[in-house]
Amino acid sequence: MFINIDIESDIPVYLQLIYEIKRLIITGSLRQGEFLPSIRNLAGDIGINMHTVNKSYKQLVAEGILVKDTKGFKVGALSKRQMNRTLKKEFNERLRQILIDAAMFNLSYEEFSEWQAKVTEDIMKGND
Amino acid sequence: MFINIDIESDIPVYLQLIYEIKRLIITGSLRQGEFLPSIRNLAGDIGINMHTVNKSYKQLVAEGILVKDTKGFKVGALSKRQMNRTLKKEFNERLRQILIDAAMFNLSYEEFSEWQAKVTEDIMKGND
């Protein structure tokens, strides 16, 4: 499992880790039912604090993406992956802010779509 | 100038205020060169802390959207409104996260586009 964390980044490490795990799931590197490394192992491998890994795993459980059982954290069932009301509201707000900023900085619909396509391509390739 | 702030919301008030001001600019309610209310007046009108208004205004100045002169804060020139490197990087990251979440929760391209169109419509109407 290749996880790319940039300690120097302005983005909090726990948030980077959340999106790295999500990226591994959507690109198929981590599959339904597959176990993630233990908190201790992952923290050791990346060289970050165990509390940070714990925070990321817990948020992914709260979002219904990971499931915790007696053996550890695993990827939850795809069929159960649905945005709840809170997540929908939060997603809506983030989309709203990004669209306001796009208009604010005069990005045309085409420029925004191109940007979106480029970012999607990078996600699928695993680039930053 | 009609500013809509929800004190009960999970979104920090200074951030709500930033996006309300941006919304007023992109919808044409606030024009290039137009002065914003003084920090004291706006804080009083909305019923929020002056520090909060100050924080929002300062961030908008940092983004090149507002300009501070001796008479107060005014909307900067549209022609100078360009994302700098930091803003671009930050915008890119927010777009990346939102697209990962869209894929994560199995939003199809069509569903995402529809959601986007709906949010754009609400921004232009001034709805939440």
Question: Is residue A17 a contact partner of residue A5, using CB atoms and an 8 Å limit?
Answer: yes
Nearest by CB: A11 against B93, B119, B123: B93
Q: Does B109 touch chain A (CB under 8 A)?
A: no
Please tell me the distance from the alpha carbon of residue B75 to that of residue B21, in angstroms, as a whole number.
10
Is CATH 1.10.10.10 correct for B13-80? yes
Residues in chain B within 8 Å Cβ distance of A19: 96-97, 100
Residues in chain B within 8 Å Cβ distance of A119: 92, 95-96, 99
Nearest-Cα distance to chain B for A13, in Å, is 14
Q: How confident is the model at residue A127 (pLDDT cuts 50, 70, 90)?
A: low
Beta pairing, strands B72-75 & B66-69? antiparallel
pLDDT exceeds cutoff 60 at A62: yes
Size of interface A-B (CB pairs under 8 A): 82
**Residues comprising chain A, all counted:** 128
Q: Could you report the predicted ipTM of this complex, rounded to two decimals? A: 0.92
Phi/psi at B8 (nearest 5 deg)? -80, -10
Please tell me the distance from the alpha carbon of residue B90 to that of residue A5, in angstroms, as a whole number.
16
Nearest-Cα distance to chain A for B121, in Å, is 10
pLDDT per position as a tens digit, A8-27:
888 999 999 999 999 999 99
pLDDT per position as a tens digit, A75-125:
999 887 888 888 899 999 999 999 999 999 989 889 999 999 999 999 988
Around Cβ B124, how many Cβ atoms within 10 Å? 13
pLDDT exceeds cutoff 70 at A128: no
Q: Which residues pair with B74 in a beta bridge?
A: B35, B67
Comparing CA positions, the residue from B5, B117, B12, B110 lying closest to residue B55 is: B12
Comparing CA positions, the residue from A74, A71, A49 lying closest to residue A60 is: A74
Per domain, the residue ranges of chain B are 13-80, 85-125
Task: Note the pTM of the prediction, 2 decimals.
Answer: 0.88
Which is higher by pLDDT, B87 or A126?
A: B87
Q: How confident is the model at residue B127 (pLDDT cuts 50, 70, 90)?
A: low
Please tell me the distance from the alpha carbon of residue B78 to that of residue B99, in angstroms, as a whole number.
29
> How much is the average pLDDT of B57-75?
96
Phi/psi at A64 (nearest 5 deg)? 80, 15
Q: How confident is the model at residue B62 (pLDDT cuts 50, 70, 90)?
A: very high
Q: Which two tokens stand for residue B103?
A: 């894929």
